[in-house]
């Protein structure tokens, strides 16, 4: 069944994670994504182990990192410094609806593939540029990687335990969120193009998008003038809303209102805590966090995870486990929701690769998993032949 973006052509000049996250999403929704790579391939092909292996047990160019964001794409491997290749890409951009790239600002100008050149030549083109700091500002020429964006954008300053060093989030979340913003911006620009015939340039920065998802913590500063600090797993505005140790693992208790708190106290066998003036409201609990949280921790540490989960679920108090990645991806819930998928990959020893699924569930135009992440240049001949035939 065709996806909602069936017929859309995307020329993907991006690499690493932010751009590929965007284009994989567009590909999942039915777009034809032509991924242009250097002759050596996307940098992330070498970011391993682990790698998918071939029948002889040798590593392929399909690292787990690369496969995380490159399904539903065709791979064309070329030398971008070749004038003939540059002309070919210029022509290909003219047949595309979208161009996406993550070179340094101005880096594609010497090849004639910058947004000014291509948008002037093809007025209906939607051209998305992703960079560390954006196309303007005093830092525009500085390189940008996920870790640097997390540091500059503020999220690391509030991640980690109080008094300890700042911590990054455990995955490249700045890249991923930037990719999601890119997909949203591209779809909005396409709607404008379809209504008016006008394409446009989208300027997106890793650092900007990182600041955008500071959400309540960013607003806590803008409202109070006081910068938030690291508090481990504690919530800055709600108590109790954090991780607690049990006898055999960790649970998350997320008490969102005072009635839930009263039911939580019932489970703990501490009804007096629900009427204690220090704890009766969330505002009071915030003020007396340092007193209440150790009391809760002591009450929970001798109980099993399952006892806490069963007891709080029975009382309709939000609770859940802290799963390992294995437990999360192999859970009944993940399987029921299609959050792991398997796609054919003949070059691998098993003939297939296992990937994380797309979370979007459409009632009319479901996500379409057409192809596994490609080998470097797997589609070069086919794409170039088609382009020559069209000229």
Residue 391: predicted pLDDT: 64
Query: Are 96 and 203 in the same domain?
Result: yes
Domain end (from 278, 295, 323): 323
Residue pair 202/192 in contact by the 8 Å Cβ criterion: no
Rg (CA), the chain: 25
Query: Are 201 and 282 in the same domain?
Result: no
Query: Are 130 and 41 in the same domain?
Result: yes
Residue pair 156/150 in contact by the 8 Å Cβ criterion: yes
Query: Are 176 and 109 in the same domain?
Result: yes
Is 342 a domain residue? yes
Query: Are 25 and 133 in the same domain?
Result: yes
Percent of the chain whose pLDDT exceeds 70: 100
Q: CATH number, domain at 284?
A: 3.30.1540.10
Residue pair 24/69 in contact by the 8 Å Cβ criterion: yes
The per-type count for the chain, helices as H runs and strands as E runs, is 15, 13
Residue 109: predicted pLDDT: 97
Residue pair 242/232 in contact by the 8 Å Cβ criterion: yes
**Domain interval for residue 316:** 241-323
For residues 285 and 254, what is the distance between their CA atoms, to the nearest angstrom?
A: 14
Q: What is the mean pLDDT of residues 91-109?
A: 97
Active site residue 390: no
Burial of 8 (0-12, 13-18, 19+ CB in 10 A): buried
For the cut 80, the answer to whether the pLDDT of residue 291 exceeds it is yes
What's the angle, vertex CA 165, arms to CA 145 and CA 235, rounded to 5? 95
Percent of the chain whose pLDDT exceeds 90: 97
For the cut 70, the answer to whether the pLDDT of residue 389 exceeds it is yes
Is 70 a domain residue? yes
Domain end (from 304, 323, 342): 323
Query: Are 139 and 252 in the same domain?
Result: no
φ/ψ of residue 335, rounded to 5: -70, -40
Query: Are 160 and 46 in the same domain?
Result: yes
Which pTM does this prediction carry? 0.94
Residue 327: predicted pLDDT: 96
Which phi-psi region, left, alpha or beta, contains residue 197 (left: φ > 0; alpha: ψ -120 to 50)?
Answer: left
Is 224 a domain residue? no
Q: What is the mean pLDDT of residues 186-197?
A: 98
pLDDT-derived band at 1 (thresholds 50, 70, 90) equals: confident
Query: Are 48 and 150 in the same domain?
Result: yes
Three-state secondary structure string covering 43-74: HHHHCCCCEEECCCCCEEEEEHHHHCCCCCCE
Count up the domains in the chain and report the number: 2
Query: Are 68 and 164 in the same domain?
Result: yes
DSSP classification of residue 243: E
Query: Are 383 and 291 in the same domain?
Result: no
pLDDT-derived band at 390 (thresholds 50, 70, 90) equals: confident
| CB crowding 246-266: b at 16 or more within 10 Å, else e | beeeebbbbbeeeebbbbbbb
Query: Are 189 and 67 in the same domain?
Result: yes
Residue 68: predicted pLDDT: 98
Is 189 a domain residue? yes
pLDDT (tens digit per residue) in 106-144: 999 999 999 999 999 999 999 999 999 999 999 999 988
Q: CATH number, domain at 149?
A: 3.40.50.10540
Choosing from 12, 61, 175, 208, the catalytic residue is: 175
Is 236 a domain residue? no
Query: Are 25 and 148 in the same domain?
Result: yes
- Considering Cα of 185, then 193, then 31, then 36, what sign does the dihedral take? negative
């Amino acid at each position: 069944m065709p996806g909602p973006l069936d017929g859309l052509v995307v020329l993907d000049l991006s690499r690493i994670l932010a751009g590929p996250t965007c284009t994989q999403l567009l590909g999942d929704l039915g777009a034809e994504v032509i991924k242009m790579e250097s002759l050596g391939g996307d940098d992330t092909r070498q970011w391993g182990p682990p790698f998918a292996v071939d029948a002889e047990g040798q590593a392929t160019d399909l690292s787990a990192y690369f496969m995380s964001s490159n399904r539903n794409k065709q791979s064309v491997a070329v030398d971008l410094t070749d004038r003939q290749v540059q002309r070919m890409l210029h022509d290909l951009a003219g047949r595309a609806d979208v161009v996406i790239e993550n070179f340094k600002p101005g880096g594609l100008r010497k090849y004639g593939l910058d947004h000014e050149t291509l948008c002037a030549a093809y007025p209906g083109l939607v051209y998305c540029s992703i960079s560390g700091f954006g196309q303007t500002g005093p830092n525009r020429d500085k390189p940008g990687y996920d870790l640097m964006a997390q540091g500059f954008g503020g999220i690391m300053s509030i991640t980690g335990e109080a008094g300890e060093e700042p911590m990054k989030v455990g995955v490249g979340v700045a890249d991923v969120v930037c990719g999601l913003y890119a997909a949203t911006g591209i779809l909005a620009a396409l709607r404008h193009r379809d209504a008016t015939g006008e394409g446009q340039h989208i300027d997106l920065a890793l650092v900007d998008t990182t600041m955008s998802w500071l959400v309540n913590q960013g607003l806590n500063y803008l409202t109070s003038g006081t910068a938030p600090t690291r508090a481990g797993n504690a919530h800055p505005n709600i108590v109790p809303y954090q991780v607690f140790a049990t006898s055999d693992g960790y649970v998350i208790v997320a008490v969102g209102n005072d009635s839930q708190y009263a039911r939580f106290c019932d489970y703990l066998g501490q009804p007096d805590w629900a009427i204690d003036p220090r704890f009766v409201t969330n505002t009071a609990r915030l003020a007396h966090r340092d007193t209440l949280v150790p009391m809760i921790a002591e009450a929970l540490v001798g109980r099993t995870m399952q006892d806490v989960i069963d007891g709080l679920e029975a009382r309709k108090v939000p609770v859940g486990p802290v799963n390992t990645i294995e437990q999360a991806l192999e859970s009944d819930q993940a399987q029921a929701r299609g959050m792991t998928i398997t796609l054919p990959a003949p070059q691998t020893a098993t003939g297939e690769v296992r990937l994380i699924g797309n979370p979007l569930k459409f009632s009319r135009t479901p996500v379409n998993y057409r192809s596994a992440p490609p080998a470097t240049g797997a589609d070069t001949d086919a794409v170039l032949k088609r382009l020559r035939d069209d000229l």
